[in-house]
Structure 1
Amino acid sequence: MNSRRQFIKKTLVGAAAATAVSQAIAVPGSRKGVKPIVISTWDFGVAANKAAWEVLKDNGRSLDAVEQGVKVAEADLSNPTVGKGGYPDRDGHVTLDACIMDELGNCGSVAALEHIAHPISVARLVMEKTPHVMLVGEGALQFAMENGFERENLLIPSSEKAWQEWLKEKKYKPIMNIENKSFNTERLPGNQYNHDTIGMLALDAAGNLSGACTTSGMAFKMRGRVGDSPIIGAGLYIDNEVGGATSTGVGEEVIRTVGSFLVVELMRQGYSPEAACKEAVARIVKKKPDTAREIQVGFLALNKKGEYGSYALQSGFTYAVCDAQKQDLVIKGKHIF
């Protein structure tokens, strides 16, 4: 009798263990109670979010959503801060930076990439096809072309004209919030520079987070300059247990605080997305109070529950939100100064 009971007990335990394993390795199409959402920096995030939503609404993967979303900004020739049409460096070269990160902690990045219109897709291939995280410069271009990307001229006439105007005085003077159309209705004068990126975070129906970040970097920058956008932990960070964060603005200050990683770790400690972003911005102020008053840096965060928030140094920062209820919501971010 005892042996029979022991046999039944072992059988039940084994069945339970097998069920647990099968559930652990299953890839569900959706998870009950999870509502897909995508958020991104600046007003131009609205169009990008709509492309991402086309993936999310059909139970698509958040990684696919963020790639498709930011490609819209990369292809927008009216946007001088991202992709083709972005302002060049001081020598007239358009160099692009991008990174992407999925729910498993996989990530890929490219920096100082020339002649390729969609660096975000190259970054994804770095993640999926190589043992590396980042490729830069000529190596990144070689890799892109070996994988079927077409080489093209990224310096469009309007950006070249702005560069030629800048060459007359060669002054660096930051203009904050150029990406916010309500603050700037014309392209920059030649003696000023812009700074920005599109950072996007998405939560899919399976409850998984991914993020993407892409930019043409600081206009008229020194040849070879790379900001925070392609650096995992600075311009973007995802932890699928906690949430994700991305940044915008002058990348040097974001790098110094490892900003996006900091925001995610603060959320791990119990901070709300907004509170975590505010604390990250406060760290920048604490380190360099004088510099902080002259530049713009903003953080955007999304946690595992689908809650989101942002904070910036200066007023004028906006971000776009898209879910099943609203596809074109633009929110003004809070600020310290």
Structure 2
Amino acid sequence: MIDRRKFLTKATLGTVAVGTLYSCVDNGIKPHDPRKKESAGETGNNEVRKPVVISTWNHGLPANEEAWKILNGGGAGLDAVEAGVRVAEADPKVSSVGYGGWPDREGKVTLDACIMDHEFNCGSVAFLQNIKHPISVARKVMEKTPHIMLVGEGAKQFALEQGFKEENLLTPDAEKAYREWLRKSEYKPIINVENHDTISMLAIDENGNLSGACTTSGAAWKVHGRVGDSPIIGAGLFLDNEVGSAAATGLGEAVIRTAGSAMVVELMRQGKSPQQACKEIVERIYDIYKNRPDLEYLQIGFIALNKQGEYGAYCLRPGFNYAVCDNDEGNRLIDGEYKMS
């Protein structure tokens, strides 16, 4: 195997604490008030909460369930986040990720994904076609090549060489939606529908190590060849095992403009809570877009998980939700706090 390339420098291992195990298989939506410090995932002391997994949108609930099977058994966070987001990638009813994802304006489903571990190892694929699980291809890029990102035909060729199966990802439902869109051929994303475009997942495992994954079919009806933030380390996903992790969802161009996830992590390094860090970057994006005409269809959201197992999230507009699973409350869906209605 070729030695994996380090993105920055090797991070040190975190402290270890022991928690009681709690099943997350109930897959329920439970009452939650993110305004309360304890409910926002902040311990308020030096206690380390672990394991914890957090993911974007309601399809994060079944994804968390799968990830929790690994975390609950003491498994590695990297294995958990890969297994978790694969659930959404394989679900034909999730129109923004993997199989069943809505196509670009040429009717082609193109996929982006990235993955990152606690030692700054990372892998990414972009503009990948006809491969159902781009997150697993991204992990292979990380583990089997000296590179971080492969794109297009090169990424597909690599996936086939690694044993992935080529298949048609355009489902009948997605094709029907595309035919309806062709009547006007107007690119004007609908808040929390076409921007509902990723599953991002962050986890801290029993060893106190952070991992993250992000995978998407991107914005529906995009220009053929467009790539958003989801496969870009530092934009759609970033983590530092000494500090915390962050991931994004929403309009990728806005995240790229601000190196969003990396900035959330840097704010946590400066002492802000995950919630505070997410909020500050959303407000920064708002300041950039507030006088732009495309603000009308802009939605953006961040999730964050720090080294203590504290979590938070924040979004631009109402409608964003995220799923959290831990030992304390099980698996639940939480409505994100937001800046503007």
* TM-score class normalised by the smaller sequence: 0.7 to 0.9
- Please name the residue that 1:47 is paired with: 62
| Shift in CA distance, 316/27, structure 1 to aligned 2, threshold 3 Å | closer
- RMSD value over aligned CA atoms? 1.7
Q: Indicate yes or no: 2:144 matched with 1:129.
A: yes
Distance 1:64 1:171 in 2: 40
- Please name the residue that 2:235 is paired with: 234
Shift of the alpha carbon at 1:220? Answer: 1.0
Superposed, which structure 2 residues align to 1:74-89 within 5 Å?
74-89=89-104
- Please name the residue that 1:212 is paired with: 213
Q: Indicate yes or no: 2:306 matched with 1:297.
A: no
- Other structure's SS at 1:301 match: strand
- Please name the residue that 2:200 is paired with: 199
Shift of the alpha carbon at 1:294? Answer: 3.0
Superposed, which structure 2 residues align to 1:1-337 within 5 Å?
31-32=17-18, 34-178=49-193, 193-290=194-291, 291-337=294-340
Q: 1:66, 1:200 within 8 Å by CA — same for their partners in 2?
A: yes
Distance 1:94 1:245 in 2: 26
Q: 2:195, 2:251 within 8 Å by CA — same for their partners in 1?
A: no
Distance 1:31 1:64 in 2: 20
Q: 1:50, 1:327 within 8 Å by CA — same for their partners in 2?
A: no
- Specify the code of the residue in structure 2 equivalent to 1:118: H
Shift of the alpha carbon at 1:175? Answer: 1.3
- Specify the code of the residue in structure 1 equivalent to 2:325: C
Q: 1:66, 1:212 within 8 Å by CA — same for their partners in 2?
A: yes
Aligned length, in residue pairs: 298
Distance 1:92 1:172 in 2: 14
CA deviations 1:285-321 (Å, max 9, x no partner) are 1112134353100010000001010111101110000
Q: 2:195, 2:299 within 8 Å by CA — same for their partners in 1?
A: no
Distance 1:221 1:245 in 2: 25
Q: Which has the higher contact order (CA 8 A, sep 6+)?
A: 2
Distance 1:29 1:305 in 2: 9
- Other structure's SS at 2:330 match: coil
Distance 1:150 1:250 in 2: 30
Shift of the alpha carbon at 1:57? Answer: 0.5
Shift of the alpha carbon at 1:31? Answer: 4.4
Shift of the alpha carbon at 1:28? Answer: 11
Shift of the alpha carbon at 1:326? Answer: 3.3
Q: 1:274, 1:311 within 8 Å by CA — same for their partners in 2?
A: yes
Shift of the alpha carbon at 1:29? Answer: 12
- Specify the code of the residue in structure 1 equivalent to 2:290: P
| Shift in CA distance, 279/34, structure 1 to aligned 2, threshold 3 Å | closer
- Specify the code of the residue in structure 2 equivalent to 1:63: L
- Other structure's SS at 1:328 match: strand
Q: 2:190, 2:297 within 8 Å by CA — same for their partners in 1?
A: no
TM-score for the superposition, normalised by structure 2: 0.85
Q: 2:235, 2:256 within 8 Å by CA — same for their partners in 1?
A: yes
Unaligned runs of 5+ in 1: 1-25, 179-192
- Other structure's SS at 2:186 match: coil
- Other structure's SS at 2:324 match: strand
Distance 1:137 1:225 in 2: 11
Shift of the alpha carbon at 1:76? Answer: 0.8
| Shift in CA distance, 315/27, structure 1 to aligned 2, threshold 3 Å | closer
TM-score for the superposition, normalised by structure 1: 0.86
Greater shift, 98-107 or 167-176, is seen at 167-176
Distance 2:188 2:51 in 1: 40
| Shift in CA distance, 261/159, structure 1 to aligned 2, threshold 3 Å | same
Distance 1:88 1:235 in 2: 20
Q: Which has the higher helix share?
A: 1
Distance 1:34 1:202 in 2: 11
Q: 1:29, 1:59 within 8 Å by CA — same for their partners in 2?
A: no
Distance 1:89 1:265 in 2: 34
Compare CA radii of gyration and give the structure with the larger one.
1
Shift of the alpha carbon at 1:251? Answer: 0.3
- Specify the code of the residue in structure 2 equivalent to 1:50: E
Identity %: 62
Distance 2:203 2:77 in 1: 6
| Shift in CA distance, 309/77, structure 1 to aligned 2, threshold 3 Å | same
